[in-house]
Structure 1
Amino acid sequence: MIFRRQLTVLPFLAIAAPLAAQDADEAEIVVTGQGLPDTPATPAYGTQVIDREALTTVPSGRIEDALASIAGFQQFRRSDSRSANPSAQGATLRALGGNASSRALVLLDGVPLSDPFFGYIPFSAIAPERLASARVTRGGGSGPFGAGALAGTIELASAGATTLGPLSGQALANDRGESETSLTIAPRLGAGFAVLSGRWDRGQGFWTTPAAQRVPASVRAAYDAWSVEGRAVAPLSPRIELQARMSAWDDQRTLRFAGADSSTEGQDASLRIVGRGDWQFDALGYVQSRNFTNVVVSSTRFVPTLDQRNTPSTGIGGKIEVRPPAGPETVLRLGIDYRRSDGTLFENAISTVTGEVTERRTAGGTNSNFGLFAETDRSIGPLVLTGGLRADRFTIRDGFYRARAANGATVADNAFPDRSGWDVSVRAGAVLAAGGGVRLRAAAYTGLRLPTLNELYRPFVVFPVTTQANAALRNERLEGFEAGMDFAPSPTIELSLTAFDNQVENAIANVTVGTNLRQRQNIDAIRARGIEAGTRLSLGAFRLQGSLALTDAEARGSGAAAALDGKRPAQTPRVAGSATLGWQPRDGWMVSATLRHVGAQFEDDLETDRLPAATTLDAYAEIPLTGPLALVLRGENLTDETIVTRNQAGSIDLGVPRTVWAGLKWRL
């Protein structure tokens, strides 16, 4: 039934069929595997691009650490996808965090990646070696799937056969005996190509619990994750190509105590048709099947207290974007998109004394969003003006929460009222090529994010703190503007500076309402003002890339949330920056070092528990051996900085300690 329901996305592709039938001039067939090209006004929104070399040489081998090189990128916690609880791995930009859901839209080849139930990003399923680039646009978005781009958009693009080569891979091990292995086959098939890739990461993990707080039940943060992906790209005509992608993954983790296990799994599929003729178009449909499990262990008796045994969820969606011919100085984008998420939580409360189930709970619902968007760019000499309008029809329905005692007696049986409505977002910008490598830009925008099923209906426990759900949550709304300057007098020098002022109204936060008790609530706003700077310099064999974000963020609350008014949002640092110095003395060689600093932040909304600032040093080296083989050396946190990732009344979790990797990399 799930996949039958998912077939409802096919009309999006059917609508594109007449477009695919357009006549094409005789031309050489060139298959790219990418979407439509950028528009002239793309730089107006302060877009930053991470190239393939930067993605594949990150010392940890994790995509989230590669994205951290962009000023303003932030996860909810400082942990990466080996030691964090998966449901806490949201992605946001510009210090607009405060909870674990993603306020940034993350796309892979145009497909939204956020979990349909929780809203987190499955970072462990995103292998950097499969990617060609990552483009990060900070600020609200009104294009395709713009209803999820509250804080910005992160667009990941897969690499093609030319970039990957027929056969490539790597195998590494670290000083704890953990391993990372990947293999990619990318043959050309006629005028098209196919890619089959797999990755497996496993290890005993490191101690997240400080030595002074360990008990006999304490364990390392063990992890075991694999992912496979198949992708095929084929021409339908000289100017139209078909792209198909399927992936599956499984991720098992343990955090803090024996038995505190979590798992995520997923299967995604998408089909995309891209036309690059006079009438350009991009038609996409996707289906997603996900699941999450989690066992909460008491920090006093060290036995299970909650078994979130099953959380199946389904996502379907699609888009059609058309760019009709509008003259040499104008680009017009028209489109529609649709997203639907449904899921159900099944969990058991367990007595810490008897080990018996005391209560069985289920919760879930369905969210959907239908969007219409239009955007135009107009070039007037060195000046490019852009404006976009988006209208979203959203529904929040079928929400429920049920709880039954062990004997079957009803404890709670709540059915929440359906809600729906329209919301409008706009954005506008300008970019001016002022000469001498100087580019001036400015933009203003609004944005929208629906609360996730997780926020609406699922309570959770990070012992001893319980966080309640809230079925009455309203949509978040962003209003913001920015201005900036880019300076690139030569291909070897790129500097950027952006000042911004963004405000999320009705921001969803975990608000403290009692001792060890929080509830998800809409607070009045989160306002973030700051400066973002970036640099990219090349001097002979040396390269320097850096970023810095200085952000003044504060919550605004009244009523039940009055206590947090004027305080910094949870998990939000004032300063974050990184600098990478690379050296390439000859072809095939690469040596780099990355210095990263994250300022102090607070665990909670009331600024009670502080997470100290942390500065880390990472390193990467790639040395050719013979033929296609190269030696790879990687170092994480080489100074062994103490990284506090959680602090709840003195109960602390730690981030990755000093870790050294060595292995082989090959490419035919």
Structure 2
Amino acid sequence: MVSRIVIAAALFALPVSVAAQEVDVTDPEQDVIIVRGEGLPETPAAPAYSSVELDRETIVTTASGRLEDALSNIAGFQQFRRSDSRSANPSAQGATLRALGGNATSRALILLDGVPVADPFFGYIPFSAIAPERLESIRVTRGGGSGPFGAGALAGTIELASADAMTLGPLTASALANFRGDTELSSSVAPRIGDGYAVVHGRWDRGDGFFTTPEDQRAPASSRANFDSWSAGGRIVQRLGSDLELQGRILAFEDNRTLRFDGADSSSEGQDVSLRAVSRGPWQVDALAYAQWRNFTNVVISSTRFVRVLDQKDTPSTGLGGKLELRPPVGDDHTLRFGVDYRRNEGELFEDAFSAFTGSLRENRFAGGETTDLGLFVEHDWQLGALTLTGGLRADHYTIANGFYRARDADGATVRDDSFADQAGWETTWRAGALYDLDEAARLRGALYSGFRLPTLNELYRPFVVFPVVTQANAELEPERLEGWEVGFDLLPLDGVSLAATYFDNDVEGAIANVTLAENLRQRRNLDAISAQGLELAAAVDRGAFGLNATMVFTAAEVIGSGFAEPLDGNRPPQTPSFAASLTASYDFAEGALASATLRHVGEQFEDDRETDVLPAATTLDLYAQMPLVAQLALVGRVENLLDEAIVTRNSGGAIDLGTPRTVWLGLRWGY
């Protein structure tokens, strides 16, 4: 890890040394040049695809102070489970949209300053590593057709944009604690450097957490959901010449959790580095390169004998990639973008299996492989007065290679030694859309799209156990493919009031799911399809001090299955509600005081593919308040789940896990 940090530091030193002498920002006789620290602007036709944007105030005023909580303001966003990054297993935190279900792998593409953040091996999102207070905005585009974003945007794209120095200010800091003794500490400094700025940030969350097991199901071995996570990093943005901007970013994080039972410990850690060059001249250019190193460990405890049965002791993985996008000058009414992107994921699993009766070692297991994706894309927007048209084409060449699974018994004798056949192929996807402005207050839009997602190394090669259920990997999985369409409208009936509605129809052919084969035995398989149709509604009010944001989604989703999947035909995909809604009302008082309340509802879901275990509907109410004290110091109060709703996050044959109970936080913030 140290060597990786040194390499990243060298990247940051380069732009600083080049530009540090160009402008003295303390000299009042010189103009201070404000650099943006972001990518190229959205194209004119971007609103043709159903999208929602969260501003900074919404992001930093959640009751939990966590990124996934902010994203939950958009109805239809979901993780595999309802737990957040304090009480979920990290490998279960995949993100998806539009009720397309999942198997803990992300079907939505999440980007931080243009860089994919999903774990290279598992595909989960390290939510605890991305502190909301470091962000400027979040743009969520629902629906497939990744176009220039990169492969993997099957259910949509979530773009996270870092806050710049002007937004953050020279110094921010916060310290909060709740009544259980859990704490949250965060700080950043953002000095001006040369012709640009730097941001250095850190965050530390720790606590004993709460019991996820209901009181009537607890055993002496039951544990609170302990958590201890930190993240630290930096970002530097410098202007080089009249149009060129260089952006560098580094991040390191570690997250440790204990779930359900003493000794059921998991950990995830990572180091990321990226370098980006953005030119805003006549020929606009966005060039990006990044590297990621991740690791994951997990200990599985028997739920009947409460002893260790599996130690996933090491899962190192690497993600390498980059993107080059060009926008030539083709006239005021046209926006043309084309380019290439690449990603390579490589990882291995090392784990030990133990007897639940004797505690002795039964097997050593090793698995891994690599995947690559090289994408070529082109997209064109054409403005014709009130009508804007857009169309894009993408071609991806992928490989799945060097897959293996080996197992040795306690004496070192080989039990299995499998090498899997390599796969390679081309996938062509497309998207097209149209916008028509009826007048200044009304707009119609429609879009068609297709997309694809490669199976992750985890889905291909790593079996896992949530005792007593065993889920097998499947090296013969094929990519998922989506086709869909949507129509909608946006209205501005009054000043400060907006309304939007979107009807969508999406089908995922070859959807990868955990399919039940026998009692306590599942395997990852390609289903015929998952079909989802739905209606998304949104409303926003911004009338002076008062604000309101509401979203809701009604979805009819079902599995299309034949052969081995025939028993699942017509079932709703696991972990998929038919209705979800979020409503946030806020009021900004004088002198920087503010208060908000968020009401959310998630409908009934099924835990499993056979629809035997139900997760009941849940309604929660969260509160946030901030009161200035002196200068930039403010008192902050937060309440999660005020009504203390029982949120069932897992139901395995009646064995229940619960989400966050009523939790009250109090603390101080400086500089927000």
Query: For the superposition of Structure 1 and Structure 2, which TM-score range results when normalised by the shorter chain?
Result: over 0.9
Whether 1:237 aligns to 2:237 is no
Q: Give runs of aligned pairs for residues 144-163 of structure 1, distance below 5 A.
A: 144-163=148-167
CA deviation map 1:497-534 (0-9, x unaligned):
00000010000000000010000000000011000011
Corresponding letter in the other structure for 1:69: N
Q: Give runs of aligned pairs for residues 161-310 of structure 1, distance below 5 A.
A: 161-310=165-314
Distance of 1:631 and 1:166 partners within structure 2: 20
Q: Which residue of 2 aligns with 1:15?
A: none
Aligned length in residues: 648
Corresponding letter in the other structure for 1:640: D
2:110 to 101, 106, 112: 106
Name the SS of the counterpart of 2:565 in structure 1.
Answer: helix
Q: Which residue of 1 aligns with 2:15?
A: none
Whether 1:611 aligns to 2:615 is yes
Distance of 1:55 and 1:148 partners within structure 2: 25
Distance of 1:584 and 1:271 partners within structure 2: 38
Distance of 1:133 and 1:585 partners within structure 2: 23
Corresponding letter in the other structure for 2:467: F
Q: Which residue of 1 aligns with 2:552?
A: 548
CA deviation map 1:273-297 (0-9, x unaligned):
0000000010000000000000000
Q: CA deviation at 1:145?
A: 4.2
1:657 to 651, 654, 661: 661
Name the SS of the counterpart of 2:58 in structure 1.
Answer: helix
Q: CA deviation at 1:382?
A: 1.1
Report if the CA contact (8 A) 1:534-1:546 is conserved. Answer: yes
Name the SS of the counterpart of 1:347 in structure 2.
Answer: strand
Corresponding letter in the other structure for 2:146: S
CA deviation map 1:115-147 (0-9, x unaligned):
000000000001000000000000113323431
Corresponding letter in the other structure for 1:159: A
Distance of 1:538 and 1:33 partners within structure 2: 27
Distance of 1:346 and 1:230 partners within structure 2: 32
Q: Which residue of 2 aligns with 1:522?
A: 526
CA deviation map 1:231-278 (0-9, x unaligned):
000011121100000000000000000000000000000000000000
Distance of 2:526 and 2:147 partners within structure 1: 26
Distance of 2:350 and 2:102 partners within structure 1: 26
Which 10-residue stretch deviates more, 388-397 or 429-438?
429-438
1:322 to 297, 319, 326: 326
Q: CA deviation at 1:490?
A: 4.7
Report if the CA contact (8 A) 2:146-2:156 is conserved. Answer: no
Report if the CA contact (8 A) 1:2-1:314 is conserved. Answer: no
CA deviation map 1:179-199 (0-9, x unaligned):
001000000112200000000
Report if the CA contact (8 A) 1:207-1:219 is conserved. Answer: yes
Whether 1:77 aligns to 2:73 is no
Distance of 1:548 and 1:109 partners within structure 2: 28
Corresponding letter in the other structure for 2:86: R
Q: Give runs of aligned pairs for residues 68-147 of structure 1, distance below 5 A.
A: 68-147=72-151
Q: CA deviation at 1:587?
A: 3.4
Distance of 1:243 and 1:340 partners within structure 2: 22
Percent identity (aligned): 64
TM-score of the aligned structures, taking structure 1 as reference length: 0.96
Q: Give runs of aligned pairs for residues 356-375 of structure 1, distance below 5 A.
A: 356-375=360-379
Report if the CA contact (8 A) 2:238-2:247 is conserved. Answer: yes
Q: Which residue of 2 aligns with 1:500?
A: 504
Whether 1:486 aligns to 2:473 is no
Distance of 2:487 and 2:323 partners within structure 1: 30
Distance of 1:209 and 1:518 partners within structure 2: 24
Report if the CA contact (8 A) 1:180-1:199 is conserved. Answer: yes
CA deviation map 1:542-588 (0-9, x unaligned):
11111001000001111111111000000000000010110112131
Distance of 2:437 and 2:47 partners within structure 1: 11
Corresponding letter in the other structure for 2:656: I
Q: Which residue of 1 aligns with 2:599?
A: 595
Distance of 2:296 and 2:69 partners within structure 1: 23
Distance of 1:186 and 1:522 partners within structure 2: 48
1:35 to 34, 39, 42: 39
Distance of 1:587 and 1:151 partners within structure 2: 41
Report if the CA contact (8 A) 2:483-2:508 is conserved. Answer: yes
TM-score of the aligned structures, taking structure 2 as reference length: 0.95
Name the SS of the counterpart of 1:207 in structure 2.
Answer: coil
Whether 1:62 aligns to 2:75 is no
For structure 1, the residue ranges without an aligned partner over 5 or more in a row are 8-26
Corresponding letter in the other structure for 1:431: L
CA deviation map 1:404-451 (0-9, x unaligned):
001011110000000100000000000111114101100000001000
Report if the CA contact (8 A) 2:312-2:349 is conserved. Answer: yes
Q: Which residue of 1 aligns with 2:563?
A: 559
Distance of 1:232 and 1:606 partners within structure 2: 50
Distance of 2:3 and 2:505 partners within structure 1: 43
Whether 1:456 aligns to 2:457 is no
Please provide the CA RMSD for this pair: 1.5
Distance of 2:511 and 2:149 partners within structure 1: 20
Q: Which residue of 2 aligns with 1:23?
A: none
Report if the CA contact (8 A) 1:173-1:663 is conserved. Answer: yes
Q: CA deviation at 1:354?
A: 2.3
Name the SS of the counterpart of 2:36 in structure 1.
Answer: coil
Corresponding letter in the other structure for 2:255: D
Distance of 1:87 and 1:430 partners within structure 2: 38
Distance of 1:142 and 1:225 partners within structure 2: 32
Distance of 2:272 and 2:310 partners within structure 1: 29
CA change 1:587–1:491 in 2 (3 A) is: farther
Name the SS of the counterpart of 1:71 in structure 2.
Answer: coil
Distance of 2:193 and 2:604 partners within structure 1: 52
Q: CA deviation at 1:666?
A: 0.5
For structure 2, the residue ranges without an aligned partner over 5 or more in a row are 8-30
Q: CA deviation at 1:491?
A: 4.8
Q: Which residue of 1 aligns with 2:399?
A: 395
Q: CA deviation at 1:29?
A: 4.2
Corresponding letter in the other structure for 1:597: H
Q: Which residue of 1 aligns with 2:475?
A: 471
Q: Which residue of 2 aligns with 1:343?
A: 347
Distance of 1:473 and 1:216 partners within structure 2: 41
Whether 1:635 aligns to 2:636 is no
4+ residue runs of structure 1 moved beyond 4 angstroms? 1-4
Report if the CA contact (8 A) 1:64-1:80 is conserved. Answer: yes
Q: Which residue of 2 aligns with 1:568?
A: 572
Corresponding letter in the other structure for 1:499: Y
1:429 to 433, 438, 444: 433
